[in-house]
Chains A and B, each alone.
Chain A
Amino acid sequence: MSAVIEFQNVSFRYNEEKDILKNISLTIEKGDFVAVLGHNGSGKSTLAKHINAILLPSEGKVSVDGLDTSDDNNLAAIRRKAGMVFQNPDNQIIATVVEEDVAFALENLGVPREEMVRRVDESLNAVGMIEFKKHATTKLSGGQKQRIAIAGVIAMRPDIIVFDEPTAMLDPQGREDVVNITKKLNEQGITVIYITHYMEEAAQAKRVVVLNDGEILIDGTPHYVFQNAGLLTSVGLDVPQSTSLMFLLRNHGIKVPLAVLNEEECISVLTDLLNTKESINGSDFKG
Chain B
Amino acid sequence: MIKDITIGQYFPGDSVIHRLDPRVKIVLAILYIAFLFIIQTAAAYLFALAVTFILVRLTKIPLKMYLRGLKPLLFILIFTAFLNVFYSTGEPLVKFWIFTVTSEGIKNAIFMMLRIFMLVIATSMLTYTTSPIVLTGGLERLLSPLAKIKIPVHEFSMMMTIALRFIPTILEETDKIMNAQKARGADFETGGLIKRAKALAPILIPLFISAFRRADDLATAMECRCYTGSGEGRTHYVSYSMSSADYVSLLVLAAMIAAAVFLNFVTVMGF
Residues on A facing B (Cβ under 8 Å): 49, 52, 54, 76, 79-80, 83-84, 86, 88, 90-97, 99-100, 103-113, 116-117, 120, 137-138, 149, 152-153, 156
Contact = CB atoms under 8 A, between A and B. Distances in A.
B238 A92 contact: no
Interface residues of B, number: 27
B95 interface: no
14 contacts: A49-B220, A83-B225, A84-B221, A86-B217, A91-B217, A96-B133, A96-B161, A104-B222, A104-B225, A107-B237, A109-B226, A113-B236, A138-B165, A138-B168
Nearest to A49: B220
Given A97-B133, A107-B237, A109-B226, A90 B169 contact: yes
Binding site secondary structure of chain A: helix
Given A79-B226, A94-B218, A96-B133, 16 more contacts: A49-B220, A76-B226, A76-B228, A79-B224, A86-B220, A88-B217, A91-B213, A94-B162, A94-B225, A96-B164, A96-B165, A110-B233, A110-B234, A113-B236, A117-B237, A156-B225
A52 B221 CA distance: 11
Interface in B110-168: 133, 161-162, 164-165, 168
Nearest to A101: B165
B244 interface: no
B235 interface: yes
B163 to A, nearest CB: 11
8 closest Cβ contacts across the A-B interface? A91-B217, A103-B237, A92-B221, A105-B225, A108-B226, A84-B224, A138-B168, A110-B233
B226 A137 contact: no
A103 B238 CA distance: 9
Contacts of B169: 90, 138
B33 to A, nearest CB: 28
